Structure 1
Amino acid sequence: MTHQVHAFEPPERFVAGTVGPPGDRTFFLQARGGGRLVSVALEKVQVSLLAEKLEELLSEAQRRFGVKLPETGPVGGDNDPLDTPVDEEFRVGTLGLAFDVDTETVVIEAIAVGEAEVGAAAEAEVELDESDDEESADESDEDLDRLRVRLTPEATREFIGRARRVINAGRPPCPLCGQPLDPVGHLCPRHNGYHR
C-alpha cells in the first residue's frame, strides 16, 4: 500500500486547533502552504505533550548548539480559527521531533495510526530526537501516511503558545477534584457522587 507524505518546509501556517464545543472538541494539527491545506486529527494529550516536548527541544538546541531563541514574552500570536474545510487526512498515532543543526530548524512529523493501533486508542507518544538526522522513523512506520513540517525557532515558539491557549480554552476544572466541569456540573468524587 502506498503512503503519502505531506511535506511543508516551511509552511505558510502551522497551528493546533479544535472543532466543536468544549467537552466535545476534536483536536487538529493544520498546515497550509503552496495552495495545499492538510488537517490531521489527534488527542488533546498529544497536543499538550507536543508543546511540552517542543519547548524542551528548543532549550536543548540552545544549550548544545548555541541556537538563538526568541523571547518567551506574552505574544498575541495567531488566534484565528482553523482554515476551512477541515477535512481529516488521518488520525495521528505517533509524533516525532528532530532539530536540524545545519538549517537551525525544528522538524515535526505526525505519523498516522498503524494497523495494529486501529481499534485501540492511540497512545500519545513524542520521540525527542535532537540530532540532525531527521530520517529516524521506524521501519514499521515507513508505509504510513505522515505530515512533516519544518519550523524556525520563532515559528516553533508561536506554535507552542497557540497550542497552550487551545488546551486551556476547554472546560474549566472543578476546584475540588480537578476534573473538567460540564455546563450542567459533574459528579464530583470529592462529594461522593453528589452534584455541586
Structure 2
Amino acid sequence: MPTRIHEFSWPDRVVVGVTGLPGSRTFYLQVRAGKQLVSIVLEKQQSAQLAENIDDILDQLLSVDGNPFSIPTGTPPELVDNDPIEEDQEQFRAGAMSLGWDPSTSQIVIEAHPLAAEDPDAQLGEESLHPDEAEETEMLRVRMPVGTARAFAKRTREIVDAGRPMCLLCGYPVDADGHTCTVPES
C-alpha cells in the first residue's frame, strides 16, 4: 500500500486553527510552504496534547548543559501568528501522531497518520472484494525550528482555551444557549 507523504522541512507557516463556534469547532493543523498547503483535522485533545508535549521537549532541551540548540524560553514576538487559517480542504483526520526531536537540524518533528477507516467487509469476516486495489494512505511530516515550535505551542494553547467556559459547579462546558447543571450529591 503506497503512502503519500506530505513533507514540510522548513514551512513558511505551521498553525493550529479552528472553524465553527465554541461547542462545535473543528480543529485543523495547517502547514504551508510556498504554494503547498495541507490541512488535517485534529481533535481538541490532540491539539492540546501536541502543544503540551512540544513545550515539554523544548523545556527538557533547555536543561542540557550549555543549551547547544539555542532553545528560547518563551515565544519570540516576531514568530507570533494570530491570523486565521487559510481556506483549504482537509487531507485527512488525524489518528496516530508522533512527536520527536531532530538534533541534526535542531527541529521539532511532528508526524500525523490518518484515522484508520473501518473496512465494512472486515467486520463481516470477509476479505476485500478487490484485494489488488490497495488504497493509498497519507502521512504528514512537519519539521519546525525551535522558535516556531514555541510560537506554535503558544497559539495552540490559546485556541484550545478559547472554547466554552466550564461550569464552576459541575465542571462540564457551558453552552451559549444555556446549561443545565446537575451538581453531584455529596
TM above 0.5, one fold?
Answer: yes
In the aligned structure 1, how far is the partner of 2:119 from the partner of 2:96?
10
In the aligned structure 2, how far is the partner of 1:152 from the partner of 1:79?
18
Of all paired residues, the percent bearing the same amino acid is 40
In the aligned structure 1, how far is the partner of 2:119 from the partner of 2:61?
32
Unmatched runs of 5 consecutive residues or more in structure 2: 121-135
Tell me if 1:8 matches 2:8. yes
In the aligned structure 2, how far is the partner of 1:83 from the partner of 1:53?
25
Tell me if 1:20 matches 2:13. no
In the aligned structure 2, how far is the partner of 1:117 from the partner of 1:186?
39
In the aligned structure 2, how far is the partner of 1:64 from the partner of 1:110?
28
Give the conservation status (yes or no) of the 8 Å contact 1:41–1:91. Answer: yes
In the aligned structure 2, how far is the partner of 1:106 from the partner of 1:172?
31
Tell me if 1:189 matches 2:182. yes
Give the conservation status (yes or no) of the 8 Å contact 2:112–2:139. Answer: yes
1:84-163 alignment to 2 at 5 Å? 84=87, 86-115=88-117, 144-163=137-156
1:105 partner letter: Q
Q: 1:70 to 1:182 in 2, by over 3 A?
A: same
Total equivalences in the alignment: 167
**Residue in 2 aligned with 1:83?**
86
Q: CA RMSD in A?
A: 2.3
Give the conservation status (yes or no) of the 8 Å contact 1:29–1:41. Answer: yes
2:60 partner letter: E
**Residue in 2 aligned with 1:49?**
49
Give the conservation status (yes or no) of the 8 Å contact 1:61–1:99. Answer: no
Task: Give the TM-score normalised by the residue count of structure 1.
Answer: 0.78
Give the conservation status (yes or no) of the 8 Å contact 2:170–2:182. Answer: yes
Displacement of 1:112 in angstroms is 1.0
Q: Note the alpha carbon deviations across 1:78-132, whole angstroms, 9 max, x for none.
A: 1111011x311001001111111111111111111124599xxxxxxxxxxxxxx
**Residue in 2 aligned with 1:128?**
none
In the aligned structure 2, how far is the partner of 1:90 from the partner of 1:12?
21
Displacement of 1:27 in angstroms is 0.5
Give the conservation status (yes or no) of the 8 Å contact 1:15–1:31. Answer: yes
**Residue in 2 aligned with 1:126?**
none
1:47 partner letter: S
Task: Give the TM-score normalised by the residue count of structure 2.
Answer: 0.82
4+ long deviations beyond 4 Å: 73-76
